[in-house]
Structure 1
């Protein structure tokens, strides 16, 4: 998300810097007053919680109440990554540009444009349950306590953090996971990007081939498909290695029945995915059509009015101040108008005036639903949690102690008028096209306990997730949902592997997750066929490259001599297509790969392990896998030596299983370690070698098994010097 917002920020830069009402201020003259930290420290005394860190530094939080646990989680995570937690809170307030500069101004603008705080202020005490508010406020107290004890790390204006800040973070960020920002981004292009949908007489539904997707895998295997009668779940979200949406591992246990383990993001007071004793869930990004853009007709005699149902309506308009850091003690303060129509947020451009309506507008119930998911003890309870429909999107792959498995293509699906192409721009003068509610939960695609006994999900269509005879059928769902139809390489491979194995062992389940191959049905395989059909003529480099690709088995193992050329050629093409951009010609991309490999490796076929690396602290190791591989690794080219340094893809991974008696066991691994930004910590990179070697460590839920692995135990604020 940060990369996209920075791009929009570049587009906005000139507008911000030339806006009327820009004032140059000295920081000292307008700095927030000092905060009295004594009350923040005193507040911590109300929580009864202990943090136990194992030999990898992973925090196991034990508290009397759920709020105690949330407080302890915040403090432990702050010990390892306070800077990111702080940045998330400041961003959700719309104040990030004051510390990050012009590139962050768009984030602040969007917080105001999307009316995040109007929703939170209006609904916090009426639409957020007392239980969820207690978690949010306890988490804020934990962050405040850490900040009070470490004032040198605190940005001016952060304290005190509140429960509203936590809720606002979810309200703001949730729509970005399904790509809402892309719809806003395209409005700032020099020309209008899409046509107007005029109704059923000329409706044409676009395919989803242009959608970019972040990546993630989830598998579930029922007892009927496993060799030993166990139920298995893979939790394998693909995220950046660092930043506001990077995974942090924790164990959460209270005396009120909360007993979960898995991954959280900075700013999250509860488990986002993982498992408890009875149920588990993995998450992957999905891309239904959850955003609508309306073209408004503005009154030529009064630009503050727009046409709706034959009448001129007044835009709702407010002015917001965005403070932008320049250098040293200086910043700009920019005044911007934010407008709203009946449809939603308004954006004015030379090629039109637009309003955007999206799933998750004003949604503040995220924590309530996630808490219910954390505490669910059965399929019925978990589905009841999902029926709350407070999460705008995200697929969930589910498994439980009773042997149930499921894929929920989750989303707040707008209840739209049939017959329009809702993926084009819409006429803004008709109120019947402004949807007001979401489809009931029973209309959301749910694949439950397929007879084949397995489910796969890899950012692909939900219509190909198990055996063909068990798959969901497109004709059962409205075209207005805009459900994607594309297949990723990971989706092809998962179906090929699990679908051909009628009796899956624990070792096979693990091997399928760590598969290193591209499918012959993948787009990369098609690109290779395309470049092999080119007549090389006298181009000796091209001839050699074609021979290497012709002999390549499409695998990305350490020793592969074709992976470097194939991946470097194909990745820019596939990435552009998935992002809806004009891709480079495959032959041009191949020529760039040839030049890169010759310059940095002196040959066109270096071993993949020489090129593909994980680099962290003192760790510099080869890693298998690659882009859109089930063993997902996305690397950035290093300027100095041309190697690919892994920076995203597989991050926190869990293998979960329940035996026939319903007893749960699991193993996990993190790409780095619990100290996500502290380079001086022994846990900065202690899991990286195991991660590179595709190994995991046991997750110990029972105290008798866990106690011998404890490296330190302490109450927040009373940790021994390290």
Structure 2
């Protein structure tokens, strides 16, 4: 081992000025928790974080991430808070608006306050570890965030850099909310079929195909050394996971423990829908939408977004709209477009963390039944020799008779979701006869070779 760092060093006077943003009671509490954490960096600089409890390990994990690249930790949270325009200027205004349409701090705080105690402890440790880093590094100058709140991970819970919100076209959103004339619906760029796929690569090899006689899992052999931070987190409570973390998140996103390994590829599984709303403007200036023969009120809310321009911090306020399907994100041929997608950040965060403690295929699949992963496929292998693949996870059960790859009419419950498909109904494969699984953000129908892959005819078109 190249170096070892033991937390628990007392604050020195040189830090006092920078620490004034934090109270003496906070600093004392963080110092006490830091004494339960050890960070060892190996020859390659990889941080091996150990703690007494899982929360202690999270505390150390965030501290180590900030050591590696605080700027990227901060940038991810600036983005999910919808505050990029405060540092990047007016060009980021509508990306911030998109973010705030789907999730905001008020809701994240409410979810945090209602979270199970075990999750709340991890969220508190996330904030404590990040703030402890800032308190002990007075030369670090954040671009915007000088204090990290425990509810922040609820805005950024899946592991993917962008998640589903990122596929809502900003230009279309801007056209609607800046009152520019919009035209017919066009397939968003991310759905263009001639686009070169991007994302992750995963391969699982069955014991019968490996020289060792054990299952093998290969995770992202193509990525840069600097795309994600590679770390290990362990605790005396049984946590022991190694792999890649997304900057600012408190779980191993892709990696392994002593029992099993998992990785994720970008999924083309259709987990979200667009609805065409028939809108009527009322004499008082409000709007209604047609649903099951009734005119229902369109909900409106003011969203005020700060942005930097010519050295000043200015604000622009938008009147935003939503129906029961979701927020209005555009217009097509005189009808408003709304988007419905997964809206359960607590389940997403729980699933992201709990899968790192799975012990085999059965326990991993049990965690997947939280159905909190809307943007990823999963490639899996365990010490018992099981290899498996699931195409997506959060999958709405939709009525037949519609082309769900395009916007559907929102005027009645004939297009309402019928709940979610259980995990057992997802496109998947377990221990294929071919002895291998491969997925590179591609179709599930070639995942295990011509004879062993799932058959397209056995699943709904969506």
TM-score, L = length of structure 1: 0.56
* Match among 125, 131, 140 for residue 153 of structure 1: 140
User: Is 1:403 the equivalent of 2:353?
Assistant: no
Instruction: Answer yes or no: is the 8 Å Cα contact 2:87–2:144 preserved in 1.
Output: no
2:453 counterpart residue number: 471
* Match among 418, 422, 428 for residue 404 of structure 2: 422
1:182 CA drift (Å): 4.2
Instruction: Answer yes or no: is the 8 Å Cα contact 2:201–2:222 preserved in 1.
Output: yes
* 1:578-635 per-position Cα deviation (integer Å, ceiling 9, x unaligned): xxxxxxxxxxxxxxxxxxxxxxxxxxxxxxxxxxxxxxxxxxxxxxxxxxxxxxxxxx
1:283 counterpart residue number: 264
* 1:501-558 per-position Cα deviation (integer Å, ceiling 9, x unaligned): xxxxxxxxxxxxxxxxxxxxxxxxxxxxxxxxxxxxxxxxxxxxxxxxxxxxxxxxxx
2:7 counterpart residue number: none
SS of residue paired to 1:261: strand
| Alpha-carbon distance between aligned partners in 2 of 1:252 and 1:175, rounded to the nearest angstrom | 21
* Match among 299, 303, 307 for residue 316 of structure 1: 299
SS of residue paired to 1:295: strand
* 1:86-140 per-position Cα deviation (integer Å, ceiling 9, x unaligned): 22223222222112212322232122211343542343343x4322221122011
User: Is 1:271 the equivalent of 2:252?
Assistant: yes
1:185 CA drift (Å): 4.6
1:186 CA drift (Å): 4.8
Instruction: Answer yes or no: is the 8 Å Cα contact 1:221–1:453 preserved in 2.
Output: yes
User: Is 1:452 the equivalent of 2:434?
Assistant: yes
Instruction: Answer yes or no: is the 8 Å Cα contact 1:183–1:291 preserved in 2.
Output: no
1:432 counterpart residue number: 414
SS of residue paired to 1:260: strand
2:198 counterpart residue number: 214
* 1:424-478 per-position Cα deviation (integer Å, ceiling 9, x unaligned): 2211211331326321111112200112211111111111111322210112111
1:56 CA drift (Å): 1.7
SS of residue paired to 1:224: helix
CA distance 1:392–1:298, shift in 2 (3 Å) = same
1:193 counterpart residue number: 185
Matches within 5 A, 1:196-595: 209-210=193-194, 213-236=197-220, 246-302=227-283, 303-328=286-311, 330-349=312-331, 351-435=333-417, 437-479=419-461, 481=462
| Alpha-carbon distance between aligned partners in 1 of 2:332 and 2:356, rounded to the nearest angstrom | 48
1:194 CA drift (Å): 4.1
CA RMSD of aligned residues (A): 2.5
1:672 counterpart residue number: none
| Alpha-carbon distance between aligned partners in 1 of 2:439 and 2:42, rounded to the nearest angstrom | 32
1:75 CA drift (Å): 0.7
User: Is 1:102 the equivalent of 2:84?
Assistant: no
CA distance 1:106–1:186, shift in 2 (3 Å) = closer
| Alpha-carbon distance between aligned partners in 2 of 1:367 and 1:428, rounded to the nearest angstrom | 30
SS of residue paired to 1:143: helix
| Alpha-carbon distance between aligned partners in 2 of 1:227 and 1:118, rounded to the nearest angstrom | 54
SS of residue paired to 2:399: coil
TM-score, L = length of structure 2: 0.86
1:49 CA drift (Å): 0.2
CA distance 1:118–1:314, shift in 2 (3 Å) = farther
Instruction: Answer yes or no: is the 8 Å Cα contact 1:410–1:444 preserved in 2.
Output: yes
CA distance 1:377–1:331, shift in 2 (3 Å) = same
Q: Which has the larger radius of gyration?
A: 1
SS of residue paired to 2:237: coil
2:58 counterpart residue number: 70
Which has the higher mean CA deviation after the structures are superposed, 97-106 or 349-358? 349-358
* Match among 105, 111, 133 for residue 117 of structure 1: 105
Instruction: Answer yes or no: is the 8 Å Cα contact 1:85–1:266 preserved in 2.
Output: yes
1:179 CA drift (Å): 7.3
Instruction: Answer yes or no: is the 8 Å Cα contact 2:272–2:342 preserved in 1.
Output: no
| Alpha-carbon distance between aligned partners in 2 of 1:263 and 1:370, rounded to the nearest angstrom | 13
Instruction: Answer yes or no: is the 8 Å Cα contact 2:71–2:142 preserved in 1.
Output: no
1:304 CA drift (Å): 1.8
1:248 CA drift (Å): 0.3
1:212 CA drift (Å): 5.8
| Alpha-carbon distance between aligned partners in 2 of 1:179 and 1:318, rounded to the nearest angstrom | 19
| Alpha-carbon distance between aligned partners in 2 of 1:262 and 1:315, rounded to the nearest angstrom | 45
Instruction: Answer yes or no: is the 8 Å Cα contact 2:329–2:339 preserved in 1.
Output: no
| Alpha-carbon distance between aligned partners in 2 of 1:178 and 1:287, rounded to the nearest angstrom | 11
* 1:186-236 per-position Cα deviation (integer Å, ceiling 9, x unaligned): 5667522349xxxxxxxxxxx973466323211111111123422211011
1:59 counterpart residue number: 47
User: Is 1:45 the equivalent of 2:27?
Assistant: no
| Alpha-carbon distance between aligned partners in 2 of 1:131 and 1:72, rounded to the nearest angstrom | 17
1:344 CA drift (Å): 0.3
Instruction: Answer yes or no: is the 8 Å Cα contact 1:305–1:315 preserved in 2.
Output: yes
| Alpha-carbon distance between aligned partners in 1 of 2:169 and 2:87, rounded to the nearest angstrom | 27
What is the aligned residue count?
430
1:42 CA drift (Å): 2.1
1:399 CA drift (Å): 0.7
SS of residue paired to 1:365: helix
SS of residue paired to 1:468: coil
CA distance 1:186–1:136, shift in 2 (3 Å) = same
* 1:679-708 per-position Cα deviation (integer Å, ceiling 9, x unaligned): xxxxxxxxxxxxxxxxxxxxxxxxxxxxxx
Instruction: Answer yes or no: is the 8 Å Cα contact 1:215–1:237 preserved in 2.
Output: no
Instruction: Answer yes or no: is the 8 Å Cα contact 1:40–1:148 preserved in 2.
Output: no
SS of residue paired to 2:109: helix
| Alpha-carbon distance between aligned partners in 1 of 2:225 and 2:43, rounded to the nearest angstrom | 21
